[in-house]
Amino acid sequence: MSSPDADLLSTAQFSFVDCHGRKIFLRGVNLSGSSKSPLDQPSHLLSHFWETAEAGGESFIGQPLNLEDGSADEHLARLRGWGFNLLRFPVTWEALERAGPKKYDYEYMDYIVRVLVKCKQYGFRVYMDPHQDTWSRFSGGSGAPFWTLPACGIDPYHISATQAALLHSEYPLPHNADPSTFPAMIWGTNYGRLFSLTLFTLFFAGRTFAPNCIIDDMNIQDYLQSHYISAFGELADRIRQADEEEGTGLRDACIIGWDTLNEPAEGLVSWDDLNKLPMKQGTTLKKGTTPTPAQSLRLGMGQPQTVECWDFGTFGPKRTGTVDVNPKGRKVWAEIDQCNGGELPDGTHPRWGWKRDISKWPLGTCVWALHGVWDIQSGYMLQPDYFKYHPTTGIEVEFMTDFWLPHFKAYGERIRSSHPNAILFVQPPVFALPPRVDEEILKGRCAYTGHYYDGLTLITKHWNWFNADSLGVLRGKYRYPLQAVKIGEKAIRKSLMEQIAMLKDDARLISTPCSLLPSTSPHNQYPTVIGEIGTPFDMDDKHAYFESKGDYKNQEKALDASLNACDGSNNVAYTVWTYIARGHSHQWGDAWNGEDLSLWSCDDMRCTYGNGDAGDAGCGGVSNGVESGLRARAKRWSGSEKAREAERKAKSESQARLLSGGGGRSTALLESANASMLSLNTISTRGTNLVPPLPGAGDEQEQLPTAPSILPTTSETSETSTATIISPSSSSLLLSSACHDDDPFDFLTDGARAVRAFCRPRPVKVLGEVVDTRFDIGKAEFKCVIRVPPSTSITSRNGQDEITTEFFIPLVHFASHKLLENSKVRWYGDVKMKKDKTMEMDPPKEYGYRSAEEDEMEEGRAVKKRVLEGIEDREDLFDIEVKVSHGRWNIKGQTLYWSYNQNLEVEEEMVIEVKRRGGAIKVRQGGWVEVPDTASLRERKKSWLCDCTDGCIIM
C-alpha cells in the first residue's frame, strides 16, 4: 500500500509535482455534463418541470454513472484507455439541497462517494466542480435549487414571458413551445438578461447594492452564500467521513482539490450605463433579442419594449434589426399570492420556511426600483451608473477583489475544514484576469483554472478557414479588430496556442508574497488547468450524423487545433468538456440546451454480432441489421407507462438497499463500488531490460519478470538509439462487453467521436522540464524535448527503485497492422434519413434493463461477465519506432518508461521521438488501412474510397 504522502500532489514551479519531484501532466475530461440535471430530465422536456421543482425536485442519483449495471466500469475503463488521468467532477447546488433550505440529499452524497471510489480504483485524479450556468435549470442553465428563485422574490412562471431568461423547454413561448427551434448557444445570452444580472448581483454584492433585501434576519447575499457554501461543505464532510469510517482514502489520493463556482458572472457589478449594451463582446453574448439592462428592468415589471436583435455571424455578432417584446403585463416579480403558492402577508413562507423583512423588501416590486435605481412609473433610470460605484463610499468597485475574493476565502476555509490538503482552483469569470490572493489563504496549494473554447467554431458550429484571436481582442492586444483575424489552418493553430499561453500567464497574477514563505518560493508559482475546452460535434446541421455517417474530420481538425494549443510549449493540464455516459443522442445532443460536445455517444457505437445482442454494458446498438436485445427491451418498456413506472420504482428500491435510509452512511460502500470493478492491468509489450513497476503499483506489488531485450542499453550520450516494438509480452486489459470480443482497438474507438484528436501521446511523469511537445495526427509522429538540470535530485521512496519518465502511447494511433486487420468497423447509426432530409429517430437507448424471464434464467448461475479479461500474450498490438537521445526505454501497455542519467554536471536536453511504422492509420468501410508517407496522391485518395451501403465511420 502506498502511503498518504506518496499520493499527495504538490503545486510548484507552475506544475503539479509528485513525491519524487517529477512533473505530473494531467489530462482528462469533465464527468459529466449530464450531472446538470436529474435522470430523464433533459432541458427540452417541459412536462411536470415546474410542478416537480415546487415539490422539492428529483434526486440526481444516477448522474453521471450507473453503478447498478456495471456500465460505470466500461466508461471509466474507456476513459483510462484513452490516456486520461484527470476528471473534473461537476456537482450542482440543486443536487445537494433541492428539497429546501438545509434539507440535504445525503443519499445523493453517498452515491457521489461511491462513484468517486470507483474513479479512484481506476487511478483517476479528481477535482470537484460546483457547477452552474446562468444560475439554475429554472433560468435556462444549471446550478442553484428552485427555492432560491422565490427567495429572491422571483415568479418563475413569468421568466419566459418577460424574457428575464430563455428556457429551452419553453422556447419560443411556454404555451406553444418547440424546443427543436432553440438557436445554437443562445442559452449564453441569459447572462445578459434580467434574471442572471439580478441573481448574481444579489449573490456576490447584495450587501453593497441591495441592503434592503433582508431574509431570515440577514442580507440576501449572506443568505444565498451561506446556503451554497454549507451545501458543498456537507459534501466535503461526507467524503471525509467515508475516508475516516470506511477507509476509502479519497482525499489527496483521488480528490486533489476543489474548483470554485463554475464560470461566475459579475451580474450588474461595474456596469457603466444601464441604458447601453457593452461595447465589447464578453460574458454577455449578443444573439437573438438583446435588451439593455434598462429594458430588462422594464420588461421585468411587465412593460413592453422594442429591443435590438442580433445574430452571430462569420465575423462575430451583428445587429439584424429590432423586435417588440410584449410581456402582456406579466411581471417576473412575484406577488404575495403568487410566490411559489403562498408567501404569507408577514413574509413567512410555509413551504420553504424563511421569513422576509417585508418592511424593507415587499414583494411585487423590482428590487432595483426599491433601491432607487429607476422609476417604475416613467421607466427612467435614475442612477444609470449605480453598480459602478460603491453607494456609500463612492469608490469605483472591482468585482474580483471586492466581491469574488471574500466569497472564495469563505468557501476555501469551509472546504479545507474537511479536506486540509485540498488544492483550491481559482476560476474567475470567463477570460477575466484572476485577482491577487494572499498566500495565507492559498497555503502553497492552488491552481488556476480558466476556460477556453474556440468561440467562432462553438457558436457557428462550423470549422472555418479563418478565425479570430478573441482573447487578444478582449485583452487589448490589437488596435483594430481586423488585425485579430487569422486566415488559414496554420495561422489559426498558432493563434489558439498564443491564446492558451495568455491564459497560462494569468496564473502568475494569483499569489502575493507571504511572510511565511521566502519571496522566491516556488509555491508562489501555480499550475494552470484549462477546466473546459472542446468542440461541437453537431457541426453543419448534424452533417456527420446522417449524411456522412460518422465522418468527424472537421470536428477532428477543430478539436486537434484546441488540444494542440495546450501542448507545444504551453503544456497545460486540461479537462475536455465533456463525456456523457447517459442520455446523449444525435437528436438532442448532450440533452442540455442543444449543446453537443460529448466525446462519446452510444448513438455512434457499432457492433458486428450475428446474434443481435450488443451486450449490456453500453447503450445498445444495431448488429448486422438486427436490433440488439437491449434496444428491443427498451422499446418494450417504452410502450408501457406502467412498466416504466415499475422500473423506476425498482431502481429506487435498489438504490435504497445500497444506501442506508434517512441520510445514513452506506453499509457496503467499498463492496458496492468493487462489485463490477475492472482490472486496468495494461497491455504489455517487449522492450528493453528496464522493467519499472506497473502504473499505479504500490511498493508491495510483485514485479513482472524482465522481458527479453530487443534494444541495447545505451550510454548516457547524445547518440540516438532506435528500436521497433513488434511483439508484446503477457499482460491483460479489461475491456468492454462482448461486442468488442478481445480487441482493445475496437473498444477504444467504438462510440468515440474524433478520437484521434483527443487520444494523444503525451508526457505523464517527467524528470526535468518539458520544453516542447509536438504531435502530428496526420503522420502519427510524436516528439518531446525535456530539459534536465544538473544533479537532478530524484529518489525513490525505498531508495532503490529507479524513477523514470513516463509517456502515454495510444493504441488508437500506434496499433499494428495485424491488429487492425481484425478490427470491426461497421457502423450503424440510429439516425435514418427520409427523402425530405428530416431525421427519423429510433427510440432512446437505455441499458440496464432485464426482463423477469432473464432474471429467472440467471438465478442461481453466474451472470455472464460484462467484460472480457483475457487479453494475454498478444503478439500484434503495437508496431512503433522509438528514438531516444539518451538512456533506455521500455513499454508496458500504453505506457512508455524512459530512463536517463539524472546526475548531470551541466544542463542537457533529452529528446524522444515516436512514430508508427506504416504511417498514420486511415479508415474506410470494411477495414483499417495504412497510408504510408510514400504513397502517391492517387493511392491516398483510393484508400478513402468505399463502396459500402451501410456507411463508413471515420473517427
* Cβ proximity of 24 and 16 under 8 Å: yes
Residue 183 lies inside a defined structural domain of this protein: yes
Question: Which domain CATH number covers 879?
Answer: 2.60.40
Chain CA centroid to CA 72, Å? 17
End-to-end CA distance of the chain: 40
Distance CA 902, CA 53 (A): 60
Q: How many domains is the chain partitioned into structurally?
A: 2
Would you say residue 437 lies in a domain? Answer: yes
Single out the residue of 126, 98, 101 nearest to residue 112, CA to CA: 126
Q: Beta strand pairing status for 10-12 and 15-17? A: antiparallel
Which H or E run contains 23? strand 23-24
Q: Check: CB of residue 230 under 8 Å from CB of residue 376.
A: no
The answer as to whether 478 is a domain residue is yes
- CB-count burial class (<10 Å; 0-12, 13-18, 19+) for 49: middle
Distance between CA 734 and CA 878 in Å, rounded? 18
CATH number of the domain enclosing 437 = 3.20.20.80
**Unique residue bearing C-alpha cell 470537484:** 128
**What ranges in 750-901 are assigned the alpha helix state H?**
755-758, 811-814, 817-821, 852-858
Domain assignment present for 408:
yes
Q: Measured in whole angstroms, how far is the alpha carbon of residue 257 from the centre of its chain?
A: 15
Residue that finishes a domain, picked among 571, 604, 637: 604
The string of DSSP letters for 576-645 reads ES----SS-BTTTBTSSTT----SB-GGG--B--SSS---SSSS--EETTEE-HHHHHHHHHHT-HHHHH
Active site residues: 263, 532
Q: Which H or E run contains 843?
A: none
Which of 584, 604, 624 lies at the terminal end of a domain, its last residue? 604
| Residue 66: predicted pLDDT | 96
CA 634, CA 615: separation in Å to the nearest integer?
Answer: 13
Cis peptide bond prior to 393, omega within 30° of 0: no
Residue 440 CB coordination number (10 Å): 12
* Per-residue pLDDT reduced to its tens digit, 48-62: 999 999 999 999 999
Q: Number of helices and strands (H, E) in the chain?
A: 27, 33
Q: How many other β-carbons are positioned within 10 Å of the β-carbon of residue 729? A: 19
CA dihedral 608, 752, 250, 35 (to 10 degrees): -110
pLDDT at 837: 38
pLDDT, residue 338, reads: 53
**Could you give phi then psi for residue 464, rounded to 5 degrees?**
-90, 160
pLDDT of residue 189: 95
| Cis amide bond preceding 172, omega within 30 | yes
Q: Which position has the grid cell 428491443?
A: 632
**Domain stops at, among 604, 637, 661:** 604
**Looking at residue 706, what is its pLDDT?**
31
Residue 529 domain-assigned? yes
pLDDT tens digits along 428-461:
999 999 999 999 999 999 999 999 999 999 999 9
In a domain, 813, yes or no: yes
Contact between 556 and 955 under an 8 Å Cβ cutoff? The reply is: yes
- What pLDDT is attached to residue 587? 93
| DSSP secondary structure letter of residue 511 | B
User: Which pLDDT belongs to residue 657?
Assistant: 37
Assign 146 to helix, strand or coil: coil
Percent of the chain with pLDDT over 70: 72
pLDDT of amino acid 873:
44
Tell me whether residue 846 is in a domain: no
How many whole angstroms separate alpha carbon 916 and alpha carbon 929? 13
CB 78 within 8 A of CB 579: no
Q: Calculate ∠ Cα 324-328-334, nearest 5°.
A: 120
Burial per residue of 176-186, b for 16 or more beta-carbon CB atoms within 10 angstroms, e otherwise: ebebeebbbbb
Distance, in Å, from the CA atom of 432 to the CA atom of 511, rounded to the nearest integer, reads: 16
pLDDT under 50 in the chain at which residues?
A: 1-2, 281, 340, 520, 608-644, 646-648, 650-741, 793-800, 825-873, 925-931, 937, 940-954
Report yes or no on 740 lying in a domain. no
CA distance 753 to 757: 9
> CA-to-CA distance for 730 and 744, rounded, in angstroms?
15
The domain in which residue 140 lies consists of: 29-604
Contact 907, 790 (CB under 8 A): yes
Three-class DSSP category at 763: strand
Residue 468 · residue 486 · CB < 8 Å: yes
